[in-house]
């Protein structure tokens, strides 16, 4: 792909305008796996029995769970048959990952080459039909080389209608996993820049032949996957699946479960949008919220602080003045009667509660405290003067002292 860093001089030259649509198309094309890359990825497993191949492809889309399962299987290597199935039921992994615990060598391979496993899963999610077609091309090459044929371990079935496909099935309920060198079994490898890796179990003794098998494994219902070669996808044998996982499903179509991805990033935008649309919605909501918050902060920045303080002072003065007027109008007679009664009895009048004290619910402002205290002192002075004038004896002219 041509470099996207184009000089300003070139962009300004006539006839060299680079369309944004072209740039987007080139970027999208760079995220597509080429035929060479896909054949490199599937070469180590293309000759697996169909059911096992399908489950490896499914499990490769959950690389983190593959690592967890491989470690768990190594720590529980003595478990087998029903004891293994019972223990797997307690694990939180996807069913495809659990099923590979019956094939510890395969699980170990996926774990040892986890970078390859993740790329295989990415290719399978994004280009499932291309992966299936590449597998058939490689099987045809291995058959042409005489390295893929019937044996006591497997059956090789060629179907020619509607298109030619090669199926591989175990001969019995005992499953043998093939071990082979991908650069040999398919003939001379045609892509020197995309050479597949060759993995074999540590306990495996290298044989002179290009194609051999590991020790057979009695797996029972652990093999529940299948390949629909004519439509280019994988599906599920629900009877085996339900038996192994002790559940009841009736959908034969396999669907990637994003929850078992465990946060591992998807390779390209298209796959991310397909399997994590809710993430995109959350991101859009966050961006919208940030925009509103930024606007609110900008609006607050335009408010004149001095003007705001002045408005608060005026508001507090108005509230206090209104409270004084209301209280003074509500109890004039009561105050006079109280004062006269005190004068007649000769007792000193008790001070009247301060009528201008702010109510408990009044919210004082830090800007208006000096005004409150000034008004309060004036009101107290007037109240005291009134009380003294009422309490003083009245002199009557013409009488003695």
217 and 122 in a common domain: yes
Answer yes or no: do 129 and 104 share one domain.
Answer: yes
The enclosing H or E element of 347 equals none
Please state which of the ranges 242-251, 255-264, 391-400 shows the lowest mean pLDDT.
Answer: 391-400
Predicted local distance difference test score (pLDDT) of residue 244 = 87
Residues 77 and 154 grouped into a single domain: yes
Q: For residue 5, what are the domain limits?
A: 1-30
Q: Is residue 396 part of a domain?
A: no
- Among residues 243, 260, 275, the one where a domain terminates is 275
Output the pLDDT for position 367: 41
| Pairing status of strand 154-159 against strand 178-180 | unpaired
**Nearest in space to 236 (alpha carbons), one of 95, 370, 336:** 95
Report which of 134, 168, 163, 164 is spatially closest to residue 149, judged by C-alpha positions.
168
In a domain, 220, yes or no: yes
On whether both 13 and 71 belong to a single domain, the answer is no
- Interval 10-49: pLDDT, tens: 334 344 334 445 444 445 556 899 999 999 999 999 999 9
Q: What's the total number of domains in the chain?
A: 2
Task: Quick: pLDDT tens for 192-210.
Answer: 999 998 887 776 655 556 7
Map residue 67 onto helix, strand or coil.
helix
Q: How confident is the model at residue 105 (pLDDT cuts 50, 70, 90)?
A: very high
Strand partners, 225: 236
Contact of 55 with 236, CB cutoff 8 Å: no
Co-location of 2 and 117 in the same domain: no
pTM over 0.85: no
* Of the listed ranges 90-94, 107-111, 294-298, the one predicted with least confidence: 294-298
Cβ count near 188 (within 10 Å): 8
Structural domain contains residue 281? no
Q: Are residues 115 and 224 in the same domain?
A: yes
CB 279 within 8 A of CB 285: no
Do 189 and 94 share a structural domain? yes
Looking at the fold, whether 41 and 55 belong to one and the same domain comes out as yes
Widest CA span in the chain: 151
Q: Do 220 and 242 lie in a common domain?
A: yes
Radius of gyration for the alpha carbons in the chain, expressed in angstroms and rounded: 44
**Are residues 66 and 14 part of one domain?**
no
- Give the span between the Cα atoms of 369 and 218, in whole angstroms: 88
Q: Are residues 82 and 180 in the same domain?
A: yes
- Together in a domain, 111 and 244: yes
pLDDT tens figures, 220-230: 788 899 999 99
Work out whether the CA dihedral 374, 376, 382, 387 comes out positive or negative: negative
CA 93 → CA 59, 255, 261, 272, 326, distances in Å?
10, 15, 10, 21, 74
How far, in Å, are 301, 310, 322, 377 from residue 365 at the CA level?
21, 11, 16, 18
């Amino acid at each position: 792909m041509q470099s996207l860093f184009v000089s300003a001089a070139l962009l300004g030259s006539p006839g060299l305008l680079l369309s944004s649509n072209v740039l987007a198309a080139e970027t999208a094309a760079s995220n597509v796996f080429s035929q060479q890359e896909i054949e490199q990825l599937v070469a180590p497993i293309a000759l697996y029995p169909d059911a096992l191949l399908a489950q490896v492809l499914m499990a490769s889309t959950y690389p983190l769970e593959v690592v967890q399962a491989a470690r768990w299987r190594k720590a529980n290597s003595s478990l087998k048959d029903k004891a293994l199935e019972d223990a797997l039921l307690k694990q939180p992994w996807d069913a495809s990952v659990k099923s590979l615990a019956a094939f510890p060598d395969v699980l170990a391979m996926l774990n040892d080459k986890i970078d390859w496993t993740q790329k295989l899963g990415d290719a399978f999610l994004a280009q499932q039909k291309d992966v299936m077609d590449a597998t058939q091309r490689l099987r045809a090459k291995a058959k042409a080389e005489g390295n893929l044929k019937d044996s006591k371990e497997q059956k090789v079935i060629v179907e020619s209608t509607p298109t030619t496909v090669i199926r591989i099935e175990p001969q019995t309920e005992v499953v043998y996993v093939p071990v082979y060198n991908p650069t040999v079994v398919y003939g001379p490898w045609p892509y020197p820049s995309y050479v597949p890796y060759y993995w074999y179990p540590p306990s495996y003794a290298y044989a002179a032949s290009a194609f051999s098998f590991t020790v057979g494994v009695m797996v029972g219902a652990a093999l529940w996957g299948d390949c629909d070669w004519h439509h280019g996808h994988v599906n599920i044998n629900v009877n085996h699946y339900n038996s192994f996982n002790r559940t009841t499903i009736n959908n034969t179509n396999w669907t990637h479960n994003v929850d078992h991805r465990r946060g591992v990033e998807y390779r390209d935008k298209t796959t991310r949008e397909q399997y994590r649309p809710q993430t995109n919605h959350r991101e859009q909501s966050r961006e919208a919220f940030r925009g509103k918050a930024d606007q609110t902060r900008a609006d607050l920045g335009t408010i004149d602080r001095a003007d705001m303080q002045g408005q608060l002072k005026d508001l507090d003065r108005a509230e206090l003045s209104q409270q004084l007027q209301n209280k003074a109008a509500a109890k004039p007679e009561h105050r006079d009667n109280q004062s006269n009664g005190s004068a007649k009895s000769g007792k000193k009048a008790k001070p009247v509660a301060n009528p201008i004290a702010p109510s408990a619910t009044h919210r004082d402002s830090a800007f208006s405290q000096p005004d409150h205290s000034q008004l309060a002192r004036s009101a107290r002075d007037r109240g005291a003067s009134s009380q003294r004038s009422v309490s003083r004896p009245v002199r009557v002219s013409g009488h003695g002292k």
